[in-house]
Every structure is written in structure tokens, then in C-alpha cells.
Structure 1
Amino acid sequence: MTACWGSTFFLAKDLLDRVPTLDFLAVRFAIASLAMLVVAPCAIARLSPEVRRQAVALGALYGAAQILQTAGLAHTPASVSGFITGLYVVLTPLLAALLLRTRIGPMTWAAVVLATAGLGVLTLGGVSIGYGEALSLVAAVVYALHIVGLGAWSRPQDAVGMSILQIIVITVICFVATVPDGIVLPHTPRDWSSVLYMALFSGALAMLGQTWAQAHLSPTRAAIIMSMEPVFAAGFAVALGGEGVTARLLVGGGMVLAAMLVVELVPRRRIEAEVTHIAV
């Protein structure tokens, strides 16, 4: 799942040179929605009204995060975008603690400082963060909210229906946003291949996998697994996307990854035990 997500950064960045952000996302998630509805046409009908509301809220969060992340990707290298977006791994326990009013330990604060320093090494040009990096950072916050919410609300028996409804909500949001200028479709077989891959594997299957997994894992346990996403993103960007390996990428990315691992390896039993009680 994380490898699929990581592989999309350089693919999406290349595609965004020819297809606008919202148009790409609308087409991608429309294909994912149709594929999932074909496989499980009655899954949404089996959800309770409460679960449907939760899935709609989660879909709106995920859709906003996708728009922010993809828009940011158009203005920053794929490897940098991957590492910054990966800060959701650090932000997830922080937001869970804030929502649950639990104490944040010193190791977590240390990880936040380390991640912030790594972010600075990766992205700071002079004294300010660029537009693309800022969008990616906001996307990381929204992704963290989605992870916390999904950990609170997902149940194994509802995983398929919730996944489909989330994908549909994302599709609707993106299509509505494209209405003023009209939708631009991919033109070449290569572009369509990229869209299909990102729709079916890193879209439909990844959403289903995350929703099902978070029915069994706490948000922090899920986040440590997801911490490999930025590593895969950088690896694919360098190996297949033509990006170079720089000292800034290695040092800054290493600091961010270290912060992710530190914050997730610190025992957080209280948060993990109480996340499932977050109210709608």
C-alpha cells in the first residue's frame, strides 16, 4: 500500500505538466469509484446512516488532502513533496492527543522539533517555505486528521462500503471544482496508463486496504507502517523520475524519517486506547 502511494509522486508530477490538478484527480477517482462499485455494488447500502455520515466526512478530508498534495506537487520536486506529506506520521499522534486532551510526552515534542528541522533542510530557501512545500504541509495535517478519524470510525464489516463512499465523495468534490473551466482529459496512452494505475492501485485498492487495516490498528500503529511512503516516493523519484540525489534531500529526508520513527516507537497506550472514542 505504501509502495503504491510512494510510486505515484513522480507519475503524478509528470502528468501534471499536461493535465490540471483537479481534472486529474476527478478522472482518477471517478475510475476508482466505478471499479469499486462494479466489484461491490451493494456495499454502501449495507452501511448504517451514521457510518455513511462518517464516510462522507472522511471522504471530504481525504479529498481536500489530495487536492492540496497534488497542487503542491506541481510546484515542488516529487521527493521533497513525499517527505513533507509524510509528516502526517508525526502529526497523527499530536492531533489524537489534542482531540483526546491527553498529555504529549517529551519524546514526541523532540520528534516534532526534529521533523521541523528536517523540513527546513528540505524546503527552506532563504527564510521562507515555498508555495508547493506549504501546500504539502497543509495536506499532511489534513491526512493526519483523516487517519485519526478513520481509526476512530472504521469497522471491518464496513470497510468496503466506507472505502467506496469515501472515493465517491472525493470524485464529486473534484468534479464540482472542475466545472467552471471544464474538464481536461489525458491525451496519450501513456498518460491514461498512469491515471489507470493511480486510480486502481493507489486509489481504490489502497483506500480499501487502509480502511480495512485501520479497523484493526490504532492510528499510531497504522502511521508507522505508512511512514515508508516518503521513502518510496524519494526512491521512485530518483530511480524512475530522473531526480538527483542531493545532500539536502539525504539529510533533511533522514531527519524527517527519524522523527516519524521516534514519535511512533514511543509508547502511546493511552492515546491508542482512546482514539476509538472520538465523537462524530
Structure 2
Amino acid sequence: MDRKDAIYLALLIFVTFIWGVTFPMIKDVFAYLSPVSFLAVRFAVASLIFLPFVYRKLIQTNRNTIKYGVVAGIFLFIAYYLQTVGLKYTEPALSGTITGIYVVFVPIISYLYLKRRVMRIEVYSSVFAFLGLVLMSYSGLHNLAIESGDILTFIAAIFYAMQLVYISKYASNVDPLVFSFLQIVVVGVLSLAFMPTDMYPIVFSYYALFVIVFTAIFATFLATYVYVSALSRMNVTKVGVILIGEPIFADITSIFLFNEPVGPIEILGICIMIVSIGVISYFSD
């Protein structure tokens, strides 16, 4: 691993940290505005943050970059929307676990779509990372019956995997900043269009405003640019396994902020996930 790859690895871990610590914050925001309304405002703010950095480049952007960015944005919106709606009809722990299935789909879709040989270490790391996620979510997995929300979340996981693989195909041939901006704009516009499907009265709150701005800057603007840039250099399975580490930081945050209990099974799951991330980071190209 060269110095630049090590920097991308560190940045990806930072992104999973940001996503993890914002998860409890976002859950609280839904007391003030609906999930899709939150997505619309969050991605609209992130688009405005991007604009000063990309407006000159947009003039010179070719049609292929626009096409690739729009398609990737559609994949991302579908994943976000289905996961958000699905969360209404399933338990949060189960939603997080089902979403994590994307890490298993990434090497499969990568092989089928990119025609890329998948190393055994990638498959093993993906499967064990998901196993760790299941164990880590053990205490929250009470209902084993399949609900409509579970099906929606499962489909969302497939789209998350498709989005990562799709980006990995084109990320090295486009400007990552413009590519990231286009995805964010598409998610914002489509979220705005779908707001009537998930609306309840919006209540103004300084806390909600803080969460919107914080997630727009760190969990959207910065995070999207980092993982798009990383996919231009690192293989997609490695990036997928690293990003699945988000629940680790979410759990740690919940433990420290809300004193949520954690048992030996959950600790074992966290350890398995950390080992899986470390193994694929070290041994995969």
C-alpha cells in the first residue's frame, strides 16, 4: 500500500466515523421533519456547498460525465429512499443489518458488471464483515418475520452495491468533484419530488437545523467526494468493506451518549468487522 492509498484508507475510515456518529442524530431529527423531507433539505444544502467549487468546472464538463453522474445519483436516491421508507416498517437494527448485505453483493456485481476477477480474500472479507454486522446487531434483532420494510431495505442494499460498482467503473475517467456534485443534486431533486409521499408537519428546531448543516457538510459533501475519489484508485470491494464499518461508530456513539448496553456477542461482532476491514485493507490491491 503506497502513501496515497494509505491516505484514502484513513479518509474512508473517517467517513465511516462521520456516518456512524450522525446516525443517532438523524434518528432524533425525524421528530421535527419527515425522513424524505430531511433528505431533500440535506442534499439541497450539500449541493449549494458544492457549487462554489464546481461551477467553473461544470462549464467544461462533457456529456459523458453528466450522464454517469446522473445515473449514479439515481442509484443513490433509490437506495436512500427505499431504506428510509423501509425503516418505517422494520426495526432499526434489522434495517442496518439488511442494508449491510450490500457488502456481499459488491463482489458479485463487480464480477458480473465489470468482468473483474474477484480475489478470495475479497469474498471472505465481505462475508465475515457481514457476519460481524449481524452479531453486532444481535440484541436488536428480535423479529425474524419478514415485513414489507425488510423487502424494501433488501432492495435498497442491492442499489447501494450497484451504485458503488457503477462509480468504480467511471471514477478514474471523470472529475471526482463534478461527479460527486451531480449525484448530490440528483438525490436532492428527486427527494424534493418524492416529498409528498412522506410528509408530516415540519417543526422548526435549532437542533434539526444543526443536524441538517452538519450532515450536509460532513456526511454528504465531504463523504461523497472522499469515496468517489477513493474508488478511482482502490478496488470497489475493499471500499465497500471499509464503509460497512459505519455501524461500529454508531454503536460506540450510542454507548457513550445514551449509555446503551453492549454484550459479549456484540463485542465479538465488532471485533470480526474490524479484523475483516484490516485484512482486506492490507491484502487486497
Matches within 5 A, 1:221-240: 221-240=238-257
Q: Which residue of 1 aligns with 2:130?
A: 115
Matches within 5 A, 1:76-91: 81-91=95-105
Q: Separation in 2 of the partners of 1:57 and 1:160?
A: 16
Is the alpha carbon distance of 1:64 and 1:38 closer, same or farther for their aligned partners in structure 2, counting shifts above 3 Å?
A: same
What is the CA-CA distance between 1:188 and the residue it aligns to?
0.7
| Residue type of the alignment partner of 2:218 | F
Q: Which residue of 1 aligns with 2:183?
A: 166
| Residue type of the alignment partner of 1:159 | P
The answer to whether the 8 A contact 1:10-1:241 is kept is no
1:232-258 CA-to-partner distances (Å, cap 9, x unmatched) read 122223322554324564455656x27
What stretches of structure 2 of length at least 5 have no aligned partner?
1-14
What is the CA-CA distance between 1:16 and the residue it aligns to?
1.7
* Structure 2 residue 43 is matched with structure 1 residue 29: yes
Could you tell me the TM-score, scaled by structure 2's length? Answer: 0.77
The answer to whether the 8 A contact 1:147-1:219 is kept is yes
Identity of aligned residues (%): 27
Matches within 5 A, 1:152-163: 152-155=169-172, 158-163=175-180
Q: Which residue of 2 aligns with 1:6?
A: 20
Q: Separation in 2 of the partners of 1:260 and 1:137?
A: 22
| Residue type of the alignment partner of 2:33 | V
* Structure 2 residue 113 is matched with structure 1 residue 96: no
* Structure 2 residue 194 is matched with structure 1 residue 177: yes
Is the alpha carbon distance of 1:250 and 1:195 closer, same or farther for their aligned partners in structure 2, counting shifts above 3 Å?
A: same
* Structure 2 residue 207 is matched with structure 1 residue 190: yes
2:168 to 128, 143, 151: 151
Q: Mean alpha-carbon deviation: is it higher for 101-110 or for 60-69?
A: 101-110
Q: Separation in 2 of the partners of 1:129 and 1:263?
A: 33
Is the alpha carbon distance of 1:167 and 1:80 closer, same or farther for their aligned partners in structure 2, counting shifts above 3 Å?
A: same
The answer to whether the 8 A contact 2:180-2:225 is kept is yes
What stretches of structure 1 of length at least 5 have no aligned partner?
270-280
Q: Separation in 2 of the partners of 1:22 and 1:139?
A: 15
Q: When you count helix as a share of all residues, which structure comes out higher?
A: 2
Q: Separation in 2 of the partners of 1:9 and 1:110?
A: 24
Q: Which residue of 2 aligns with 1:16?
A: 30
Is the alpha carbon distance of 1:238 and 1:249 closer, same or farther for their aligned partners in structure 2, counting shifts above 3 Å?
A: same
Matches within 5 A, 1:18-57: 18-57=32-71
Q: Separation in 1 of the partners of 2:267 and 2:150?
A: 17
1:107-135 CA-to-partner distances (Å, cap 9, x unmatched) read 73796488369648736545424555544
Q: Mean alpha-carbon deviation: is it higher for 6-15 or for 143-152?
A: 6-15
What is the CA-CA distance between 1:141 and the residue it aligns to?
2.0
Q: Which residue of 2 aligns with 1:139?
A: 156
Q: Mean alpha-carbon deviation: is it higher for 239-248 or for 221-230?
A: 239-248
The answer to whether the 8 A contact 1:9-1:79 is kept is no
Q: Separation in 2 of the partners of 1:236 and 1:60?
A: 31
Q: Which residue of 2 aligns with 1:275?
A: none
Aligned residues: 268
| Residue type of the alignment partner of 2:21 | S
Could you tell me the TM-score, scaled by structure 1's length? Answer: 0.79
Q: Which residue of 2 aligns with 1:214?
A: 231
What is the CA-CA distance between 1:54 and the residue it aligns to?
0.8
Matches within 5 A, 1:235-250: 235-241=252-258, 243-246=260-263, 249-250=266-267
The answer to whether the 8 A contact 1:44-1:162 is kept is no
SS in 2 for 1:240: helix
Alignment RMSD:
3.4
What is the CA-CA distance between 1:195 and the residue it aligns to?
1.1
The answer to whether the 8 A contact 1:23-1:184 is kept is no
What is the CA-CA distance between 1:206 and the residue it aligns to?
0.8
